[in-house]
């Protein structure tokens, strides 16, 4: 199965104008069985409340029935289970958990789209791609400024990227590359199934559920047409007055320019490229910042204060110097995101204070480990230490809330930490390597 998909990606890479052949033969019981083996048993269940273990009963018959329905175009997807998660700006993020059958049905189109479109995606597009994740996107603006002549950063983001994508406009560019209608049919019908939220079915007018398999690949295709191609073909027709570059990850983007007028023109024109796919700029994420090796001297000469910073993918980028005294970008967790995570930790600790101390310390340690693996990049050690310190303070207060008596002092709590040690903050990824 992997050899067939490799051939699917090699031919379009050699001939960019070539459309992929009908890929109906790839949707079979072998591909679906491969996906079922790769499906993790700890994945959240969807609206059918069936995990991987529950789908194993009569697996062969179920996979054969699903493959036949996909080929006959009679497959009707089940609505995903939607949950709300708060974001740093206070807005909800509605991820959707697909049913077990939906995860298997979305896997075949997702693999085919990834094999057909991966050779055509620009190198500046990060996120939901093999070996090109969010950490590569964090490194790209610093590379454009540190090794180039860019001195201005235009940070732009789409408001409700997954929820506001126009389905019809997204499928139009796919038809030029995918000639098999059976591949695009599940992608077209899955968002139209609606979602289950709070035990009630709700219709979804546009967009796609964040958290499923196919939407990340569809999002990359959307950003390729709405931003990357627009930037290379339409925007660069007019001179920018120097060097310029772009880094994009899902609905967020950061463009580096040598001159300020080029960055201002980019922020005015990017709304037109987003509007073609039903997207709008989020004003809270869209701003212009003078950032670079000469930004401090230029602002000081104009008496405009200290150099500016900008937030990209949840990390605040600040000016710093290397050991050699040269300019480099320093990344640390944005203040709003850090405050929100500490507030969530405090709420969880207050609700879980009845747990035994062993279980309470173990769960806090798991949360600290997840925090370090997510944000443990170079230059962020101080923020990780602050998060660990405040987590200890919250944990110290919880035993006292069980009764009116004081459980222990700080010295006794430190002795307790020797029995139930917590994860120490450390850097997992050196982003400069």
pLDDT in tens, 331-387: 888 888 888 888 888 888 888 888 888 888 899 898 898 888 888 888 888 888 888
188: tokens are 């077209």
Q: Identify the CA nearest to 246 among candidates 299, 312, 301, 193.
A: 312
Cα(119)–Cα(360) distance, integer angstroms: 47
The proportion of the chain whose per-residue pLDDT surpasses 90, expressed as a percent, equals: 0
Q: How many domains does the chain have?
A: 1
Q: Which positions ≥6 away from 252 have C-beta within 8 Å? A: 155, 156, 157, 158, 285, 312, 313
Residue 136 has pLDDT above 70, yes or no: yes
Q: What is the mean pLDDT of residues 243-270?
A: 85
Q: Across-strand partners of 175?
A: none
Q: What confidence tier does 21 reach under pLDDT thresholds 50, 70, 90?
A: very low
Q: What is the mean pLDDT of residues 64-77?
A: 79
Residue 98 has pLDDT above 70, yes or no: yes
Residue 184 has pLDDT above 80, yes or no: no
pLDDT confidence of residue 48: 65
Q: Within a domain: residue 234?
A: no
Q: Which domain holds residue 408?
A: 335-419
Q: What confidence tier does 4 reach under pLDDT thresholds 50, 70, 90?
A: low
Average pLDDT taken over every residue of the chain: 76
> Is 328 exposed, middle or buried, given 0-12, 13-18 or 19+ CB atoms closer than 10 A?
middle
State the DSSP code for 80: P
Please compute Rg for the chain using Cα positions.
Answer: 24
Q: Within a domain: residue 342?
A: yes
Crossing angle (nearest 10°) for helices 59-72 and 29-38 = 120
> Is 159 exposed, middle or buried, given 0-12, 13-18 or 19+ CB atoms closer than 10 A?
middle
Residue 188 has pLDDT above 60, yes or no: yes
pLDDT confidence of residue 258: 82
Residue 25 has pLDDT above 70, yes or no: no
Cα(98)–Cα(191) distance, integer angstroms: 11
Q: Within a domain: residue 407?
A: yes
pLDDT confidence of residue 5: 53
Q: Within a domain: residue 385?
A: yes
Q: Within a domain: residue 238?
A: no
Report yes or no: 288 and 153 within 8 Å, Cβ to Cβ: yes
Q: Within a domain: residue 382?
A: yes
- 147-156, 167-176, 198-207, 251-260: which is most confident: 251-260
Q: How do strand 315-321 and strand 327-333 relate by DSSP bridges?
A: antiparallel
Cα(163)–Cα(211) distance, integer angstroms: 12
Q: What is the mean pLDDT of residues 215-219?
A: 77
Place of tokens 């235009």: 154
Cα(246)–Cα(253) distance, integer angstroms: 7
Q: What confidence tier does 428 reach under pLDDT thresholds 50, 70, 90?
A: confident
Q: How do strand 244-249 and strand 125-126 relate by DSSP bridges?
A: parallel
Residue 171 has pLDDT above 70, yes or no: yes
Cα(176)–Cα(5) distance, integer angstroms: 18
**Between 267 and 148, whose confidence is greater?**
267
> Is 131 exposed, middle or buried, given 0-12, 13-18 or 19+ CB atoms closer than 10 A?
exposed
Residue 301 has pLDDT above 50, yes or no: yes
Q: What is the mean pLDDT of residues 405-431?
A: 82
From the CB of residue 55, how many other CB atoms can be counted at a distance below 10 Å?
A: 20
* Longest CA pairwise span in the chain (Å): 75
Q: What are the φ/ψ torsions at residue 156 (nearest 5 degrees)? A: -135, 145
How many C-alpha atoms does 83 have within 13 Å on its Cβ side?
10
User: What are the distances in angstroms from CA 92 to CA 54, 163, 379?
Assistant: 31, 11, 29
pLDDT confidence of residue 211: 66
Cα(157)–Cα(152) distance, integer angstroms: 17
Place of tokens 């997207």: 279
Q: What angle do CA 226, 227, 230 make, to 5 degrees?
A: 85
Residue 212 has pLDDT above 70, yes or no: no
Q: Identify the CA nearest to 119 among candidates 251, 11, 232, 4.
A: 11
Q: Which positions ≥6 away from 349 have C-beta within 8 Å? A: 360, 364, 394, 395, 398
Length of the chain: 433
Report yes or no: 224 and 120 within 8 Å, Cβ to Cβ: yes
Q: Within a domain: residue 33?
A: no
Cα(246)–Cα(416) distance, integer angstroms: 50
Report yes or no: 259 and 241 within 8 Å, Cβ to Cβ: yes
Where are the alpha helices (H) located in 119-231, listed in sequence order?
134-146, 161-164, 167-177, 181-192, 214-223, 229
Q: Within a domain: residue 432?
A: no
pLDDT confidence of residue 18: 46
Q: What are the φ/ψ torsions at residue 254 (nearest 5 degrees)? A: -140, 120
Place of tokens 């150099």: 307
């Amino acid at each position: 199965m992997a050899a067939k998909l490799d051939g699917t990606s090699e031919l379009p890479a050699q001939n960019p104008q070539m459309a992929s052949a009908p890929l109906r033969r790839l949707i079979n019981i072998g591909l679906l069985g491969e996906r079922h083996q790769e499906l993790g048993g700890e994945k959240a269940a969807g609206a059918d409340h069936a995990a991987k273990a529950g789908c194993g009963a009569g697996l062969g018959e179920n996979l054969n029935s699903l493959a036949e329905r996909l080929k006959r175009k009679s497959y009707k997807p089940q609505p995903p289970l939607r949950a709300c998660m708060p974001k740093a700006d206070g807005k909800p993020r509605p991820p959707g958990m697909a049913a077990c059958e939906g995860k298997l049905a979305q896997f075949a189109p997702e693999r085919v789209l990834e094999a057909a479109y991966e050779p055509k995606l620009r190198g500046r597009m990060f996120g939901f791609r093999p070996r090109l994740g969010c950490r590569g996107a964090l490194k790209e603006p610093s590379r454009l400024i540190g090794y180039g002549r860019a001195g201005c950063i235009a940070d732009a983001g789409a408001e409700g990227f997954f929820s506001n994508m126009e389905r019809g406009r997204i499928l139009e560019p796919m038809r030029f590359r995918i000639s098999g209608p059976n591949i695009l049919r599940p992608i077209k019908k899955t968002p139209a199934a609606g979602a289950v939220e709070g035990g009630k079915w709700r219709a979804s007018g546009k967009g796609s559920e964040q958290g499923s398999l196919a939407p990340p690949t569809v999002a990359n295709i959307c950003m390729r047409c709405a931003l990357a191609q627009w930037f290379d073909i339409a925007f660069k027709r007019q001179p920018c007055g120097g060097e310029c570059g772009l880094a994009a990850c899902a609905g967020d983007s950061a463009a580096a320019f040598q001159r300020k007028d080029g960055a201002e023109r980019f922020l005015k024109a990017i709304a037109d490229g987003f509007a073609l796919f039903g997207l709008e700029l989020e004003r809270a994420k869209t701003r212009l910042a003078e950032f670079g090796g000469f930004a401090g001297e230029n602002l000081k000469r104009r008496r405009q204060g200290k150099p500016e910073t900008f937030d990209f993918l949840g990390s605040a980028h600040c000016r710093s110097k290397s050991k050699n005294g040269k300019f480099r970008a320093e990344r640390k967790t944005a203040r709003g995101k850090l405050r929100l995570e500490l507030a969530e930790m405090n709420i969880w600790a207050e609700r879980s204070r009845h747990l035994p101390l062993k279980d309470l310390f173990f769960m806090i340690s798991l949360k600290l480990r997840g925090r370090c693996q997510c944000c443990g990049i170079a230059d962020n050690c101080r923020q990780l230490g602050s998060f660990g310190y405040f987590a200890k303070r919250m944990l110290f207060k919880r035993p006292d809330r069980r009764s009116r008596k004081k459980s222990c002092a700080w010295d006794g709590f430190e002795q307790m930490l020797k029995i139930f040690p917590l994860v120490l903050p450390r850097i997992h990824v050196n982003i400069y390597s």
